[in-house]
Structure 1
Amino acid sequence: MSDGQGYYGGAGGHGGVPQPDPYPQGVPHSNPYGHGGVPQPNPYAQGIPQPNPYAQPVPAPRGTPYPQPVPAQFVPPQPVAAYPAPAVPQSVRAPAPPGTDYPGPAPRRSRTGVLVQFTLQWIYAPLWIAALVSLFVILLWTGASGPTGSDSWLKVNRTFIPPRRLKAELTGRPDVWERYLTPILERRIREAEARHAAGDGEVGDDLARTMRVKFSVRLYRGIGAAGVVRLAERYGWEGGSVGGDPDRVWIRRVFPAPPRVPAPGPQDPPAAPGTPWGPRPGRFALLLPLMFVLQIVYVPVYGVLSLLAFWVTHHEPDYWERWGARWTVGPRAFWAELSGSAAAWDRHIRRILARDTRRKPGSAGAALPARIRINLATYRGAGAQQVLRIAAEQGYALDPAYIPEPEACVRLYRPDQG
């Protein structure tokens, strides 16, 4: 009977003859599922990629039934600037001067020499200022013209070392020099932009005006001219030409031409009194003689105060003209303003125009100046439009490079000399 292992006494049961191992070790055997006993490849072997039976064929473009593979081309990376310059509007940015090379930091000064100068300046600076005041009084008393040539001997501040620069000179660190120079640069840029608003600047062919600011090496010794230009670019300015002086560096900014503002022409009807282009109200008649006498005293006083503060620059380049138009009266304008006569004002305007358009001495063929300025004190009782009428006789017109401000001055332009 069967015991679960085959028939009793059979070949596969207990007590039977052992059967040979159909899969002996070390002896290759044939695949029982193969054909003819030939070994078949393993269909589950790893490492052999099989085609995807569900892959969709990629249609070839028309006209190219057998497209050829295009080898990929290597594109080298483009260099990127480590510190890109801040963007400045093209309308106010001029091209950099060709061949400009800004030097780096200048050699450091001796610490001993810096300390000696810082100590002695508190003694010689007051004596220097007192000597300048005495010289001015002597020149004013004698009527002499004074020394000619360079005025560098007047600049006491050039030899003065403030405490903040003393630290920069002693340490020599670029970051300390930058902290010292930054407020100075900001102040000078503000003053230059204020002077531009008041009418200063070099007028170009496109009526744009260029402002320039100069710095001496004593202000930027530790960072060099290149450091000054880098700081100026933060405020929309750029480096100018270093010129032939290695101890100076210039920065500049080009301001675009102002927009056109409507203004009356020489042939237009006269402007009404009290309007910007019409006659201005005259000053009190009894006050004019008093002002004429007192100005003999306070004008020299103003000159002395200006000498004592000669290192202080005003925000307006025409500060004296604007101030003097209110508190002084010229000897030629005295009768015109006192009488209020239109003919007297016309004669005064013509005298000032003849003075400002006078040819240079010794150059008979010199051209007339292209741009002149007439202050309010010249045409107060006649009006700014009357200046345009009289100036048109000599070929002058209202200057388009400036915004008209008839309450203070009239700027004239001669196109054939521009």
Structure 2
Amino acid sequence: MTERQGHHGGVNGGGGPQPHPYAQQPNPYAHGEPYGQQPNPYGQGAPLNPYAQPSPYGQQPNPYAQPSPYGQQPNPYAQPNPYAQGGAPVPYAQPVPAQPTPATPPARPAAPAAPAAPASPGAAPPADQFPGPGPRRNRAAVLLQFTLQWIYAPLWIAALVALFAILLWSGGGGPSGPDSDAWLKVNRTFIPPRRLKAELTGRPEDWERYLTPILERRIRAAETKHAAGDGEVCEDLSRVMRVKFPVRLYRGLGAAGVVRLAERYGWEGGSAGGGTERVWIRRVFPAPAPSFAPGPHDPPAAPGTPWGPRPGRPAFLLPFMFVLQIAYVPVYGVLSLLIFQGRHPEPDYWDRWGARWAVGPCAFWAEFSGSAAAWDRHVRRVLNRTNTGNASPGGRLRINLATYRGAGAQRALWIAAEKGYVLDPAYAPTPEVCVRLLHRPAAATA
């Protein structure tokens, strides 16, 4: 018992406790603490690995390393370039003649700026020169006028009808009206329901919504009139169409707003000097392209062609048409005004209708007989009558188809040339409807 204790307890033989050889020594192969805490058993500066040999290439130079023959020493195979700069010339090269360096031309002085061309007197002014929205009307006054107009407008129209009846039956000896025709137009004091909202709110968008259909309708009517030959002819043979708008139609939008709307349809603002009570818009239509038209002395056109004689109506129908037209022409005109409001999309509709369904008293015998001499006398008679106010140079006149039906448009040009008239270049020729002439006295002596 005592010996076991002495052997294990370390009291055998009176000696002290002996350390366990494996418990006290660290494991040299343990990871994380190989030789960090223990001194190097192989001496100071020795490598930890006893088998490691110093690298012959680390601290000592590589005995097998040889210097590059092309790095520090010249290449024994390198040959000098015989054609390099400073060497022999290229054997097949052709000598290039030296080109003289062109002298730099002296700087040209800047041309003075051309003066701005003066504005044409007929040019449209810019949009900023047109006045803006006008002052709003009193709402109470607008409502009062809208209410009372349903009473005084019918009375006004009845008074106008009675006045015309008095003038008709009195033989011209009745009362005469004022010089202005404003008292005849009841619509100027009438507020339609569509404009009532714009007058009450005063907002520009409400005025624009009210004015846009009116502007579109008047622009279409003006373009139709231009196709029918209307418009002011300019010096360059272009034609100008103008449309007027009174202030009651655009009060809350302003003249500048009207011009802005017109520009959407290719129109522009007209003269801004008309005051604040109206605004004009206009459009310049260019001169028509030159088209074929026979001269008065060219060979006569064949019958039935646009420039030749047109076929006449049956002779036995002419007397009936001459008598009945006294009744059906006014009736058809009134019905057209009431139902169609006198507007037709086809240009020159009334001229075409009259040439088809009416018979002129002066042209009755020429068409009834079909004589070429009678047609010539009729054309000369019409030219003499219409030439009264257009005899000055530059005067223009128009001859309808009913005047030269049996003679032909080319024959009418020949007769008009005797009085100094030529075909007007400002209009596209339409011999199936009319002939437009321009007075040039030099043409009569040519």
TM-score, scaled to structure 2: 0.66
Match of 1:47 in 2: none
Q: Is the 8 A contact 1:239 1:251 kept in 2?
A: yes
Q: Is the 8 A contact 1:357 1:368 kept in 2?
A: no
Match of 1:3 in 2: 39
In structure 2, how many angstroms separate the alpha carbons of the residues matched to 1:314 and 1:371?
Answer: 25
Match of 1:169 in 2: 199
In structure 1, how many angstroms separate the alpha carbons of the residues matched to 2:300 and 2:180?
Answer: 48
* Contiguous gaps of at least 5 residues in structure 1: 9-93, 361-365
Spell out the pairing of 1:191-340 with structure 2 (5 A cutoff): 191-301=221-331, 318-340=348-370
TM-score, scaled to structure 1: 0.70
Match of 1:404 in 2: 429
Listed one character per residue, the Cα deviations across residues 61-94 of structure 1 (whole Å, up to 9, x for unaligned) are: xxxxxxxxxxxxxxxxxxxxxxxxxxxxxxxxx8
Match of 1:144 in 2: 172
Q: Displacement, 1:162? A: 1.3
Match of 1:122 in 2: 150
Match of 2:409 in 1: 384
Matched to 2:413, the amino acid is L
Listed one character per residue, the Cα deviations across residues 81-117 of structure 1 (whole Å, up to 9, x for unaligned) are: xxxxxxxxxxxxx842489820010111111221122
In structure 1, how many angstroms separate the alpha carbons of the residues matched to 2:275 and 2:287?
Answer: 31
Matched to 2:154, the amino acid is P
Q: Which SS does the other structure have where 2:180 is aligned?
A: coil
Q: Displacement, 1:397? A: 0.8
Tell me, yes or no, if structure 1 residue 348 matches structure 2 residue 378: yes
After TM superposition, the structure 1 stretch with the greater mean CA deviation from structure 2, 305-314 or 398-407, is 305-314
In structure 1, how many angstroms separate the alpha carbons of the residues matched to 2:315 and 2:291?
Answer: 35
How has the CA–CA distance of structure 1 residues 284 and 154 changed in structure 2, closer, same or farther, with 3 Å as cutoff? farther
Higher alpha-carbon Rg = 2
How has the CA–CA distance of structure 1 residues 126 and 194 changed in structure 2, closer, same or farther, with 3 Å as cutoff? same
Match of 1:36 in 2: none
Q: Is the 8 A contact 1:100 1:242 kept in 2?
A: no
Match of 2:129 in 1: 101
Q: Which SS does the other structure have where 2:132 is aligned?
A: coil
In structure 2, how many angstroms separate the alpha carbons of the residues matched to 1:279 and 1:103?
Answer: 55
Q: Displacement, 1:180? A: 0.7
Q: Which SS does the other structure have where 1:210 is aligned?
A: strand
How has the CA–CA distance of structure 1 residues 138 and 340 changed in structure 2, closer, same or farther, with 3 Å as cutoff? farther
Match of 1:395 in 2: 420
Identity of aligned residues (%): 73
Q: Is the 8 A contact 2:127 2:256 kept in 1?
A: no
Tell me, yes or no, if structure 1 residue 132 matches structure 2 residue 160: yes
Q: Displacement, 1:302? A: 5.5
After TM superposition, the structure 1 stretch with the greater mean CA deviation from structure 2, 236-245 or 180-189, is 236-245
Q: Displacement, 1:283? A: 1.4
Q: Displacement, 1:324? A: 2.0
Q: Is the 8 A contact 1:217 1:248 kept in 2?
A: yes
Matched to 1:398, the amino acid is L
Alignment match of 2:392 (pick from 324, 346, 367): 367
In structure 2, how many angstroms separate the alpha carbons of the residues matched to 1:182 and 1:380?
Answer: 43
In structure 1, how many angstroms separate the alpha carbons of the residues matched to 2:336 and 2:272?
Answer: 30
After TM superposition, the structure 1 stretch with the greater mean CA deviation from structure 2, 109-118 or 295-304, is 295-304
Q: Is the 8 A contact 2:393 2:441 kept in 1?
A: no
Match of 1:112 in 2: 140
In structure 1, how many angstroms separate the alpha carbons of the residues matched to 2:207 and 2:339?
Answer: 26
Q: Is the 8 A contact 1:104 1:227 kept in 2?
A: yes
Q: Displacement, 1:186? A: 1.1
Match of 1:155 in 2: 185
Q: Is the 8 A contact 1:195 1:316 kept in 2?
A: no
Q: Is the 8 A contact 1:359 1:368 kept in 2?
A: no
Q: Displacement, 1:291? A: 2.0
Q: Is the 8 A contact 1:157 1:311 kept in 2?
A: no
Q: Displacement, 1:156? A: 2.0
In structure 2, how many angstroms separate the alpha carbons of the residues matched to 1:243 and 1:5?
Answer: 118
* Contiguous gaps of at least 5 residues in structure 2: 1-37, 45-121
Q: Which SS does the other structure have where 1:214 is aligned?
A: strand
How has the CA–CA distance of structure 1 residues 135 and 334 changed in structure 2, closer, same or farther, with 3 Å as cutoff? farther
Q: Which SS does the other structure have where 2:241 is aligned?
A: strand
Matched to 1:274, the amino acid is G
In structure 2, how many angstroms separate the alpha carbons of the residues matched to 1:380 and 1:331?
Answer: 14
Listed one character per residue, the Cα deviations across residues 177-218 of structure 1 (whole Å, up to 9, x for unaligned) are: 011111111111111111111111111111111111110101
Matched to 1:413, the amino acid is L
Q: Displacement, 1:243? A: 2.6
Q: Displacement, 1:253? A: 0.7
Q: Is the 8 A contact 2:127 2:259 kept in 1?
A: no
